Structure 1
Amino acid sequence: MDDKRQGMLWAAFAADALALGAHWIYDPKVLRKRFKRLEQYVTPGSDSYHTGKSAGDLTHYGDQMLVLLESVAACHGRFDLQDFARRWQNLFRNYTGYVDKATKATLQRFAEGYGPEASGSSSTDLAGAARIAPVIYALWSDPKSCVAAARAQTAMTHNNATVVEAAAYWTVVTQEVLLGKHPENALESALQKLSLPEAFASWVRHGLESAPMETEAAVLDFGQSCAVDGAFPSVVHCIARYANDLREGLIQNVMVGGDSAGRGLLVGMVLGAYLGFQAIPTEWIEKLLAGPKIRACVEQIELSRRQQAPPR
């Protein structure tokens, strides 16, 4: 279980870092011409939304996921919305990276006096639901609290009902995978465990049906943008098509373009939970600039877990 949990967490961060240099380039032909095939971290170009970051850095999605990990570590392996909200706002006080519309709207609502329970934007971006790996890592043994935390962290910035429920869905999928289910089975069984809008079953079905297709064709058909209605089935496709090859799945996710970082957080999380830490290329772990912080947080969470365990 520990190898799977480690794989889940680290693969989510690695997927985000791999997408950094290509993020939000929508033409796959441009990506192939510029990068040929992205198999390692690259520094964003001067025309990137992430100019100023370096190879191995995280996008603004990954930076927020790291803040969430730091929060649960500081709170002894528990999720505290107030603590996360404070750390999240501190991240953006002097942030030199890209600040998206959902973040700007949330910061504005905080400035107007709203608390984290009511600060969320109306954004339909799946990315708000995609940074949940830290709460699953910390709360995996308490499934109900884990789902509640995933919903709460999402709603703080993306208070759209569909996006919030997407966070719950992907949490349950990952929990099922950590317990030994094949990802395709988990994608279907999670639908039965939650009361979800009808669209979810359609997204899962279409994503699974697309697995034999080339990823470029499938994702271009579903949509490469940030919005949940296109990104969700695209994530399902990548998980189903590359269930036994995390490395290739994350590379193909990047090379199809669009919001590859948002999709990658979820693809990496689920495939990492299934295939474990050893499935992540060593180079991706070693060159992840946030690696020391991630490792320190993991150690802090594990120490808290041991201290809280009842004596034998």
Structure 2
Amino acid sequence: MPNKNIQDRAMGAIMGAFIGDALGLGPHWYYNLDELRNDYGDWIDGYTDPKPNRYHVGCKAGQLSQAGFILALTVRSLVDCGGYDQDDFCQRMDEELFPLLDGTPVCGPGGYTSQSIREAWRCRVQQKRPWGQTGSHADTTEAIERTLAIAVRYAFQPSQLAAAITDNTTLTQVDDTVVSMTVAYGAVLGLLVQGHALDTELSGKLMELVKNGALPFHAVTHDDLQPPRLGDPDPPRAGRFASPDALLTPSYMAAAVADPEIRIAPAWKVSIVYGMPCAIYHQLPAAYYLAARFHNDFESAVLHAINGGGQNQARAILTGALTGAQTGLSGIPQRFLDRLEGGAGLVKLAEDLASKVSVAS
């Protein structure tokens, strides 16, 4: 493994996500790339103000969106409690976020509230339902954007990582495929914080964790994806997820990077190859591809994520965390930290969480 210390990688993951979020604040959700280039030029290279009559209007360059607000809330809960405490997290959502919302999209911190959070607000505030009856079928990455902090905290405890991410995700999103892909992303990020590379070998390491019962995925194939033999018994289930396929995606993306006959050029066109929309199955392949291609170049990774348009904010959050975990905080250009509103406080928050990351269970 690389010699970078665990704390540097853990802080890099958290700050990479915050930076990706803030980079997306201005040019968020442009599905017409000509309009994006007209408003922001041929290449976005830093934080920008939202344009009038666009998303996040009224916010300023370098500020966080609501996704960043919720990520910070999650990190504070993890730090104050020493780990994942669902009651504490839910109380913070009830007391710190929901009073700022009214159930409409253009509202709240960052000037926009996502679908799953609006649904959770309705369940809690309007319908008075208990937490646990608040999840919707939104097929987005909104849970990843906060549970990535849980993945960092439990980077060396994959069973706890999977359980905590599952519990937190289902507070707002209940589709099993979405939950499994969210847990898979967390498992990938955990290995990167440990010091593994996002390469063609990573999925094999994840499958070993499935075989050992550490990750709750059910696999019916033998090693190297060989089919079961006649008369083989059905393998015991390790957990709730029917298929481990979400764990295979990152190494396929890394293989695409390594294959000289496959080239996405320029790299921001990853958004066209895998799709610009918000759904998790568009976002994850693009983030894995960019984080594998620019594993030692944080700036290129997040800026190509942003310049691809569409749901570029989520793409940049996910890419920023994966790449920041590989470069470490020490590999993130200082200008991104200096121009991030409240950056010093966020770095301290990331440091506090990183201090909780332990090799021991």
TM-score by length of 1: 0.88
Aligned match of 1:207: 253
Confirm whether residue 281 of structure 1 aligns to residue 333 of structure 2. yes
Match of 1:144 among 159, 173, 179: 159
Tell me which amino acid in the other structure corresponds to 1:105: E
Q: Select between 59-68 and 147-156 the one with higher mean Cα deviation.
A: 147-156
Q: Select between 100-109 and 83-92 the one with higher mean Cα deviation.
A: 83-92
Tell me which amino acid in the other structure corresponds to 2:304: Q
Aligned match of 1:101: 115
Aligned match of 2:237: none
Tell me which amino acid in the other structure corresponds to 2:113: V
Q: Select between 279-288 and 203-212 the one with higher mean Cα deviation.
A: 203-212
Match of 2:49 among 34, 43, 46: 43
Q: Distance in 2 between matches of 1:201 and 1:83?
A: 30
Confirm whether residue 135 of structure 1 aligns to residue 157 of structure 2. no
Q: Distance in 2 between matches of 1:139 and 1:48?
A: 37
Confirm whether residue 27 of structure 1 aligns to residue 42 of structure 2. no
- Paired residues of 2:198 and 2:254 also in contact (CA < 8 A): no
Relative to structure 1, is the Cα distance of residues 45 and 296 closer, same or farther in structure 2, using a 3 angstrom cutoff?
Answer: same
Q: Distance in 2 between matches of 1:35 and 1:84?
A: 37
- Paired residues of 2:154 and 2:160 also in contact (CA < 8 A): yes
Relative to structure 1, is the Cα distance of residues 130 and 188 closer, same or farther in structure 2, using a 3 angstrom cutoff?
Answer: farther
Shift of 1:14: 0.6
Shift of 1:12: 0.9
Query: Which sections of structure 2, spanning at least 5 residues, go unmatched?
Result: 1-5, 101-107, 211-216, 218-240, 258-262
Tell me which amino acid in the other structure corresponds to 1:102: S
Tell me which amino acid in the other structure corresponds to 2:88: D
Tell me which amino acid in the other structure corresponds to 1:46: P
Relative to structure 1, is the Cα distance of residues 270 and 191 closer, same or farther in structure 2, using a 3 angstrom cutoff?
Answer: farther
Q: Select between 209-218 and 53-62 the one with higher mean Cα deviation.
A: 209-218
Q: Distance in 2 between matches of 1:285 and 1:108?
A: 35
Q: How many residues align?
A: 306
- Matched residue of 2:162: which SS? helix
Relative to structure 1, is the Cα distance of residues 243 and 187 closer, same or farther in structure 2, using a 3 angstrom cutoff?
Answer: farther
Relative to structure 1, is the Cα distance of residues 229 and 159 closer, same or farther in structure 2, using a 3 angstrom cutoff?
Answer: same
Whichever structure has more helix as a proportion of its residues is: 1
Deviations 1:92-131 (A, max 9, x none): 3122521122111111112323333231111000232232
Deviations 1:76-98 (A, max 9, x none): x2111121112123313122521
Q: Distance in 1 between matches of 2:131 and 2:349?
A: 23
**Percent identical residues:** 23
Q: Distance in 2 between matches of 1:134 and 1:202?
A: 22
Confirm whether residue 122 of structure 1 aligns to residue 143 of structure 2. no
Aligned match of 1:153: 168
Q: Distance in 2 between matches of 1:27 and 1:210?
A: 26
Q: Distance in 1 between matches of 2:356 and 2:142?
A: 29
Match of 1:166 among 178, 181, 189: 181
- Paired residues of 2:143 and 2:169 also in contact (CA < 8 A): yes
- Matched residue of 2:70: which SS? helix
Q: Select between 94-103 and 264-273 the one with higher mean Cα deviation.
A: 94-103
